[in-house]
Structure 1
Amino acid sequence: MAKVKDLTPTIGDVGGTDLGIPFVMPNGKVGFVLGDTFGGTQPWGPPITGLTNWRSPVILKSPTRDMAQPIAFDGACKGGAQLWPYQHNNGTFSTVLPCDAITIGNRIYLWVMITQGLVNELWCEIWYSDDLGETWVNGTNSTTKWSTTAYRGQRVMMTWDRGRDGWVYAISTGGLARNKNALLWRVREEDILDPTKWEGRCWINNAWVWKTNPADHEPGDLLASGARLGELGLRWIQGHWVWSGFDDGAYSSFIRVGHGPIENINWRTAPITRPVRGSGFPLGFDVVDRLYGCYVHPDSRFQKPDGTKGTFVMIVSQWAADGDPYRAMQYRVATPNPTGPILTDPAPPDAQPVSEWDAILAEFVGHP
């Protein structure tokens, strides 16, 4: 394992920030979703005083798709501004924190938590953009707010990816208290904005079944009792479901790997690696103190086209200390072993081809 680089501070007056949740945008670039972001190089920490240009969420854009290379940025949605206007600390909530983004056709969906201070998530929303992140629409109204107390408080932080079969599959956990287990969900791509169409994976009559809007029988925990999860990332990679994230109980990152239909994976016994630790002895290159975040990059690969071992990259965050801003970082980590046949990613039928004209067109329409 090796640290490749700090991803922040960087362009667009992005100084102290975190997360850097990577997802593939409709034009083939990779978006990196940032949480609370401040200008300059100041650290973030309570009380929030003397800091400039507070905004969240923010999305940086990168053309880097080769995980053997350092990630470079060539732009930001809205020039690095907050994706939609709202006032922080407005009396109802303090900030909007992103959890994950997904591209379906030309649309980007973004799951966010509305919070009143840390560890106090009020509700969740899904926003979407049809113009590469330049303008955003709230797909959640007053009757479809996503509750942060339903399902034992385990549908707060959400991660998702397309199953290449018309369904979006998602794993959720609690909020920033990082004291909850995980649940499994699915929803038809066209119904992603409708909470009543989501199906939870439930344990009923000694069998796992999908159940629509399972208010009368809640989804079952994916991991053994006592799991304490933080930020999560779920990506379909070469026929495998790769679930990454932050394990607060072990104070480490994790990568769990399962093959085939996600409903057939036993995540309790699935192979797990812990490439980056938050502490421990002996102190070494794999220790990042004040660790959180921990997202596997979607361009990570188990195997290269020539059959040799591929490269896995994880984006991890580190909280501020000693006058340094908090930040997101690129780590090259040990490639997990695949658990099934390697498949070439069948790009969704609505995926947009990437060509040399994309940059020219983007410049012409004003969306670099």
Structure 2
Amino acid sequence: MKRRTFLGSVAAAGVGAAVAPGLLAPAVAQAATYKKRVTGADLDTNSRWQVAGTDLGIPYVLENGSIGYLFGDTFNSPWPEQQNNDWRSPVMLRSAVHPGEAGGIVFDSAAKVAGNGRAPEIMHNGHNGIGIDNLWEVTVIPNDGISFPETGRQLVSYMSIEHWNPGPRYSLWKSRYAGLAYTDNGNDFVRTNLKWFNDADNADPFQMWTMQRDGDWVYVFSVRSGRQDGPMMLRRVPWEQLFDPAAYQGWGWNGSNWGWGRPCSPILNGRFGEPSVRRLGDGTWVMAYLNCATGNIVTRRANTPDSAWNNEKIQVTFAQEPSLYGGFIHPWSGAGANELHLMVSKWTHGPAGNSTAYHVSQYVGSV
């Protein structure tokens, strides 16, 4: 199975200029600290649910108030290239343990599993074949999750991967489209017919989503697939109309001011990995992503989703965690010192190109 590289050359591309002054400035160096590894062949994620080698671990609040963690390509072996490795994606583990506890994140269950047992995929995956919509699909990668206690429904944004091959603008892979899947029972996600198709140049900026609800609105931040140069866009949609593409409003610049209901304008430009945005309990908005020009996971802070984001703050460096990516914000993070909890993936390779580590760890930093 051909897989994506984690980053490519971190010096391959610079960070672009912002549309509005002050939105993109040099990073302030202050690294988060490693707390624990949360997946691996030697941990209970494998002995209980056969989740050994895996990545991402995107945390979001479930409709019952606990946390679901969305994992990408998952195997019962330590790394992807081993034979008969039971490839699955996406997979969800769950936990009601606060990440700030002394022992860190501890998983207590897996979606679609009663107790212990193999954690299956939570939605259809084409697996290097014809997918559910008669289109070629290498795999399905989750981008984020969101839930609605009013209805008991959960939604997962995902991207259908067309190929892992490098392309223009330092792209490392190409998605065919972004989509939404939902469940009303907390386990079985149904992929809807909604598709935000990528273009032939892999330049569509609505492929990798992160979602955060605030009142009646869900705010959607998105970038291109492939961790390439490009813009970050912001849209919002009433939470009851997420399945209506016409209800999405763009945040745009008309030459004199910003406003909703316009074609999207870039809120940031750069070489972005998968974005993660969360509104913390005190109302602070925090954004995290892999800055693919520097190889660091960074965060930004804002008072509202449509206000200016402050300068990048380095949380986890390439030196701390070689071949890192992700940097997904735990929604139970606080706004004070040592209260920002991040899920960080690592996929390292030896001199011969063989994998030497493929897992997710918890880091703790500050907003």
Q: TM-score range by the shorter chain?
A: 0.7 to 0.9
Which among 308, 332, 351 is matched to residue 266 of structure 1? 308
* Structure 1 partner of 2:334: 301
Post-superposition CA distance 1:289-328 (Å, at most 9, x none): 101101121111014xxxxx46111111111324534111
Instruction: Measure how far apart 1:49 and its partner are.
Output: 5.5
Relative to structure 1, the CA distance from residue 220 to residue 152 in structure 2 (aligned partners, 3 Å threshold; closer, same or farther) is: farther
Post-superposition CA distance 1:135-172 (Å, at most 9, x none): 12223x1xx31122399511100001111x20001110
Q: Where do residues 274-289 of structure 1 align in structure 2 (5 Å cutoff)?
A: 274-279=314-319, 287-289=320-322
Do the aligned partners of 1:146 and 1:195 also contact (CA within 8 Å) in 2? no
Unpaired stretches in structure 2, ≥5 consecutive residues: 1-31, 114-118, 131-135, 165-172
Post-superposition CA distance 1:231-254 (Å, at most 9, x none): 111101111111111111121101
* Structure 1 partner of 2:98: 65
In 1: Cα distance, 2:84 partner to 2:228 partner:
27
Do the aligned partners of 2:324 and 2:347 also contact (CA within 8 Å) in 1? yes
The reply on whether 1:77 has 2:111 as its aligned counterpart is yes
In 1: Cα distance, 2:227 partner to 2:300 partner:
22
Higher RCO (CA 8 Å, separation ≥ 6 residues): 2
Relative to structure 1, the CA distance from residue 325 to residue 251 in structure 2 (aligned partners, 3 Å threshold; closer, same or farther) is: closer
Instruction: Measure how far apart 1:66 and its partner are.
Output: 4.5
In 1: Cα distance, 2:143 partner to 2:272 partner:
13
In 2: Cα distance, 1:168 partner to 1:28 partner:
18
Which among 160, 164, 177 is matched to residue 114 of structure 1? 160
* Structure 2 partner of 1:352: none
Post-superposition CA distance 1:201-249 (Å, at most 9, x none): 11114111112xx5xxx311112x4x10011111011111111111111
Q: Secondary structure at the match of 1:196?
A: helix
User: TM-score, normalising length from structure 2?
Assistant: 0.78
Going by fraction, where is strand more abundant, 1 or 2? 2
Q: Where do residues 1-368 of structure 1 align in structure 2 (5 Å cutoff)?
A: 1-9=32-40, 10=45, 11-41=48-78, 43-44=79-80, 48=81, 50-69=83-102, 70-79=104-113, 80-91=119-130, 92-105=136-149, 106-118=152-164, 119-132=173-186, 134-139=187-192, 141=193, 144-149=194-199, 152-163=203-214, 165-211=215-261, 218-223=263-268, 225=269, 227-237=270-280, 238-259=282-303, 261-263=304-306, 265-267=307-309, 270-279=310-319, 287-303=320-336, 309=337, 311-322=339-350, 323-333=355-365, 335-336=366-367
In 2: Cα distance, 1:21 partner to 1:178 partner:
21
* Structure 2 partner of 1:347: none
Q: Which amino acid aligns with 1:331?
A: Y
Instruction: Measure how far apart 1:51 and its partner are.
Output: 4.2
In 2: Cα distance, 1:310 partner to 1:228 partner:
27
Instruction: Measure how far apart 1:272 and its partner are.
Output: 2.7
In 1: Cα distance, 2:357 partner to 2:52 partner:
7
* Structure 1 partner of 2:116: none
Q: Which amino acid aligns with 1:241?
A: W
Do the aligned partners of 2:99 and 2:341 also contact (CA within 8 Å) in 1? no
Do the aligned partners of 1:292 and 1:317 also contact (CA within 8 Å) in 2? yes
In 1: Cα distance, 2:299 partner to 2:126 partner:
36
**Corresponding pairs, count:** 303
Do the aligned partners of 1:160 and 1:234 also contact (CA within 8 Å) in 2? yes
Q: Secondary structure at the match of 1:4?
A: strand
* Structure 2 partner of 1:359: none
Do the aligned partners of 1:17 and 1:325 also contact (CA within 8 Å) in 2? no
Q: Which amino acid aligns with 1:71?
A: I
Do the aligned partners of 1:31 and 1:60 also contact (CA within 8 Å) in 2? yes
Q: Which amino acid aligns with 2:142?
A: P
In 2: Cα distance, 1:276 partner to 1:68 partner:
20
Instruction: Measure how far apart 1:40 and its partner are.
Output: 2.7
Question: Identity over the aligned pairs, expressed in percent?
Answer: 29
In 2: Cα distance, 1:296 partner to 1:186 partner:
20
Do the aligned partners of 1:15 and 1:325 also contact (CA within 8 Å) in 2? no
Q: Tell me how large the CA RMSD over aligned residues is.
A: 1.9
In 2: Cα distance, 1:83 partner to 1:131 partner:
11
Unpaired stretches in structure 1, ≥5 consecutive residues: 280-286, 304-308, 337-368
* Structure 2 partner of 1:355: none
In 1: Cα distance, 2:275 partner to 2:227 partner:
14
